[in-house]
Chain A
Amino acid sequence: AQSVTQPDIHITVSEGASLELRCNYSYGATPYLFWYVQSPGQGLQLLLKYFSGDTLVQGIKGFEAEFKRSQSSFNLRKPSVHWSDAAEYFCAVVVNAGNNRKLIWGLGTSLAVNP
């Protein structure tokens, strides 16, 4: 079955520390992968996406993610976290579903940042 797993429900890091949020997907075909961020009381904003080509993709706010087909992973990283990065982070994959192509979402990772 198609699925996205974010193993870490909640992560706390100190400001200035590095960050890695894990995402594993299960999908038989070539995956189109996304990371979104949801700040408190806000909608979801795209951080970055992977369709093909270079497996290391750069996004907004200093985030990057690396696609590893052999591990079915698309982990999100940031070298130095800022207090404003505290939010909920969602990984998603596009799947074919009949006449529809839709996003399958992970359950999210909540990031807290200590000053």
Chain B
Amino acid sequence: EAQVTQNPRYLITVTGKKLTVTCSQNMNHEYMSWYRQDPGLGLRQIYYSMNVEVTDKGDVPEGYKVSRKEKRNFPLILESPSPNQTSLYFCASSLSRGRETQYFGPGTRLLVL
């Protein structure tokens, strides 16, 4: 089944404790991105990647890192999480950048205390 998977689905952590949210897709998509969803602010892009080893900042990259060592995986790293990073995070992938349909993972709900 074609899908985007994320882990963990729920995470509670404390300020400053490094964490990684994994994202994997099995559709051989080139383009992957991370979004955060916050009430009243909607979905905002954090980082995107157009292919292996090619990543760039989205609209709200501060406090986040990403890597794209393999085509299927695009982990989101919070080196020193802060409470303002409490949010719902979505990974998405598409065949390429642009008008192709983006397929979304189920989301990761993060609480930083």
Contacts and interface: CB of A to CB of B under 8 A. Distances in A.
Interface in B24-39: 33
Contacts, number: 52
> Number of contact residues on A: which range applies?
20 to 34
Interface in A76-115: 90, 94, 99-103, 105-108
Interface stretch (A10-18, A20-28, A39-47, A63-71): A39-47
Interface string B82-95: 00000000101000
Given A32-B99, A43-B104, A94-B99, A107 B58 contact: no
Given A34-B101, A43-B90, A99-B50, 18 more contacts: A41-B107, A42-B106, A43-B104, A43-B105, A44-B90, A44-B92, A44-B104, A46-B101, A100-B50, A100-B97, A101-B98, A102-B45, A103-B102, A105-B42, A106-B42, A107-B41, A107-B42, A108-B42
23 contacts: A32-B99, A36-B104, A41-B106, A41-B107, A42-B106, A43-B90, A43-B106, A43-B107, A44-B92, A45-B104, A46-B103, A49-B99, A51-B99, A100-B56, A100-B58, A100-B97, A101-B98, A102-B33, A102-B45, A103-B43, A105-B43, A106-B42, A107-B41
